[in-house]
A and B are shown apart, each in its own frame.
Chain A
Amino acid sequence: QVALQESGPGLVKPSGTLSLTCAVSGGSISSSNWWSWVRQPPGKGLEWIGEVYHSGTSNYNPSLKSRVTMSLDKSKNQFSLILISVTAADTAVYYCAKVGSYGAFDIWGQGTLVSVSS
């Protein structure tokens, strides 16, 4: 059974760079799957950030596209999110997720809270 675990700094300064990693266990990141990031500001709903395919192809939410980069590290069986020029509005719980059949997010990490504050 595939499991996901997010990691990264819990605090980022305004105008800085948010960098998170999602470690994949119980399966290979090189399998034919999309791997995605979703975030949730405190007390608000879910927002899709983007996704990366095992080939390295990526798709991003148009509202975040200019600031987001996603990548894979097959040697470490993990994928990453980089979000630049962050503001307080980027404060959220960030989840990584595996995309399965019919494009469903079938496995989720536990989530990690990232606060943007000086």
Chain B
Amino acid sequence: SSELTQDPAVSVAMGQTVRITCQGDSLRTYYATWYQQKPRQAPVLVIYGKNNRPSGIPDRFSGSSSGNTASLTITGAQAEDEADYYCNSRDSSGYRLFGGGTKLTVL
């Protein structure tokens, strides 16, 4: 498959842990990168590589991968984490590809 599949929407109670997943055959070969996008803003990189956070990204964000599934975990979700989250990797031909995005609601 040359697609990356994400759940369209996920919700989490404030302070709880939430996992956002991204599925695709290419994830067996390539790492996923994760982006946070708030309304009317450009995306922001939150996780890259095996589990790396850019400077300024809180350590409650972490990444993992198993088989064809990559996951972004937010441990202790905050109100400011409410946003759309996109995974990105490569397809079977090596071209870059985004998942459809997950809208995270913090209750």
Contact = CB atoms under 8 A, between A and B. Distances in A.
Contacts of A108: 42-44
Interface string A17-60: 00000000000000000001010000001111001000000010
A101 B88 contact: no
B47 to A, nearest CB: 8
B33 A103 contact: yes
Given A48-B88, A101-B52, A110 B42 contact: yes
B74 to A, nearest CB: 18
A101 B35 CA distance: 14
Given A105-B33, A105-B35, A108-B44, A47 B98 contact: yes
Interface string A83-116: 0000000000001000011111110111100000
| Chain A interface residue number, banded | 20 to 34
B13 to A, nearest CB: 26
B98 A46 contact: yes
B12 interface: no
B45 interface: yes
A77 interface: no
Nearest to B86: A46
21 contacts: A45-B98, A46-B35, A46-B86, A46-B88, A47-B98, A48-B96, A48-B98, A59-B95, A61-B95, A61-B96, A101-B52, A102-B33, A103-B33, A103-B48, A103-B90, A104-B33, A104-B45, A104-B49, A105-B35, A110-B42, A111-B42
Interface of A: 36, 38, 45-48, 51, 59, 61-62, 95, 100-106, 108-111
